[in-house]
């Protein structure tokens, strides 16, 4: 067979996630992720040596650092382990606290899992990914290890399910990993719907309610860990990353809504501290009145751009693109900037 004389189609591919108990140690990946697109790739950088050598061409080169990174775009499923493993890692790989969901009685099927921001210091601080590109005949199975989520975003729009993008950095990769298709459960997922999205904003976190909310057309929230993957994280004697620490965590929060009041504008001018809760829900859980849910609690936000609209014509609905800063609430020793809460039927992670 000559190179390039066969064809591989994307539909036969899969992507599975596993949590590493030890950083940089590849594990069997059994959490299947139904993804929209995946661009994980390995680059072996090189440098051409410039020298005078009696010719008008260069002769020598050296190998530089190995770079392994890429993005995964998918619809976030509150009931999918792979989605939640990526979220846990995006929040710093901390311990997940699980309890019976608020509003349900003990012993029912609804569980809530709380993820606090961590520093990638707990047991599951990194991920492995098993990624087959193509079918079993012509496809190649790639293994990625020592992976961490650099940035993860959540985007909701009218007539769309909740879409997420995870931008990842890995320590190493290999081709020829074990094909784990037989270990994967591909049952589809219950997407979180725009119709059950809610953004509540109040002056204090204690006053937030599910019935008082701002009417928005779209919302985007992202977590940026600012992973340090440059030369400072490498060492002489290896072309791989030695460590992969995180910098200051940055949160981005913006949304679009109709421009019908000056509430956001006045909050910006008056530097008013607000609290927000962004919630996405899906199907009703079996044996419960509650729905699957992903929500983000933000006790301290400030509106930095109220998005007062430019008017482009006489026949348009005016809208405001609002940008908010998300900060840590320092009023108590247990203050935080963001908590992620997932509700599903899984009892623990």
Q: What's the chain's length in residues?
A: 349
User: What gap in Å lies between CA 217 and CA 194, rounded to an integer?
Assistant: 9
Among 116, 124, 95, 120, CA closest to 17? 124
Q: Domain for residue 125, yes or no?
A: yes
Nearest to 172 by CA among 134, 229, 218, 223: 229
**Residue 49: inside a domain:** no
> Total structural domains in the chain?
1
pLDDT of residue 82: 95
CA distances from 30 to 80, 152, 200 (A): 11, 21, 36
Within a domain: residue 321? yes
**Structural domain of 155:** 10-42+65-344
Using only C-alpha atoms, the chain has a radius of gyration, in whole angstroms, of 23
Residue 50 lies in a domain: no
- Mark the ranges of the chain whose per-residue pLDDT is less than 70: 1, 4-5, 105-108, 187-188
Give the pLDDT of residue 333: 78
User: Are residues 61 and 86 in contact, defined by beta-carbon separation less than 8 angstroms?
Assistant: no
CB 157 within 8 A of CB 255: no
Q: Determine the pLDDT at residue 162.
A: 94
Cβ contact 157:218 at 8 Å:
yes
In a domain, 288, yes or no: yes
Q: Is residue 57 in some structural domain? A: no
Q: pLDDT at position 11, please? A: 87
What are the tokens at 5?
């004389």
Structural domain contains residue 5: no
User: Does residue 349 belong to any structural domain of this protein?
Assistant: no
Q: What's the pTM?
A: 0.93
pLDDT at position 1? 63
First to last CA, the chain: 46
DSSP letters, 18-59, are EEESSTT------EE--EEEE--EEEEEEEEEP---SSSS--
For 237, other C-beta atoms within 10 Å of its C-beta total 7
pLDDT of residue 25: 96
Which residue matches tokens 């072996």?
44
- What pLDDT sits at residue 330? 87
């Amino acid at each position: 067979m000559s190179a390039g004389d066969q064809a591989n189609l994307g539909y036969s591919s899969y992507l599975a996630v596993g949590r590493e108990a030890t950083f940089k140690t590849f594990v069997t990946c059994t959490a299947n992720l139904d993804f929209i697109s995946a661009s994980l790739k390995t680059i072996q950088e090189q440098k051409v040596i410039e020298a005078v050598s009696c010719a008008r061409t260069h002769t020598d080169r050296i190998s530089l650092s190995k770079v392994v990174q890429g993005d995964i775009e998918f619809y976030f499923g509150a009931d999918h382990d792979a989605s939640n493993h990526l979220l846990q890692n995006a929040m710093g790989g901390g311990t997940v606290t699980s309890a019976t969901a608020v509003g349900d009685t003990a012993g029912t099927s609804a569980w809530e899992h709380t993820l606090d921001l961590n520093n990638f210091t707990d047991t599951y601080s990194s991920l492995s990914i098993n990624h087959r590109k193509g079918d079993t005949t012509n496809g190649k199975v790639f293994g990625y290890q020592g992976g961490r989520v650099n940035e993860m975003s959540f985007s909701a729009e009218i007539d769309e399910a909740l879409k997420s993008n995870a931008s990842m950095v890995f320590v190493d990769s290999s081709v020829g990993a074990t094909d784990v298709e037989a270990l994967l459960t591909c049952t589809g997922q219950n997407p979180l719907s725009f119709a059950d999205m809610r953004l509540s904003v109040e002056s204090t976190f204690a006053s937030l309610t599910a019935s008082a909310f701002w009417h928005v057309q779209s919302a985007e929230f992202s977590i940026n860990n600012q992973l340090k993957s440059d030369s400072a994280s490498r060492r002489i004697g290896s072309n791989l990353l030695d460590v992969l620490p995180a910098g200051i965590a940055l949160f981005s929060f913006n949304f679009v809504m109709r421009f019908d009041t000056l509430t956001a504008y006045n909050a910006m001018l008056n530097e008013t501290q607000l609290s927000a809760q962004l919630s996405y829900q899906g199907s009703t859980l079996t044996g419960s009145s509650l729905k699957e849910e992903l929500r983000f609690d933000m006790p301290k936000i400030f509106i930095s751009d109220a998005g007062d609209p430019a008017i482009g014509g006489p026949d348009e609905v005016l809208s405001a693109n609002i940008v908010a800063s998300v900060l840590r609430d320092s009023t108590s020793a247990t203050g935080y900037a963001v908590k992620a809460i997932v509700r599903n039927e899984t009892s623990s992670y």
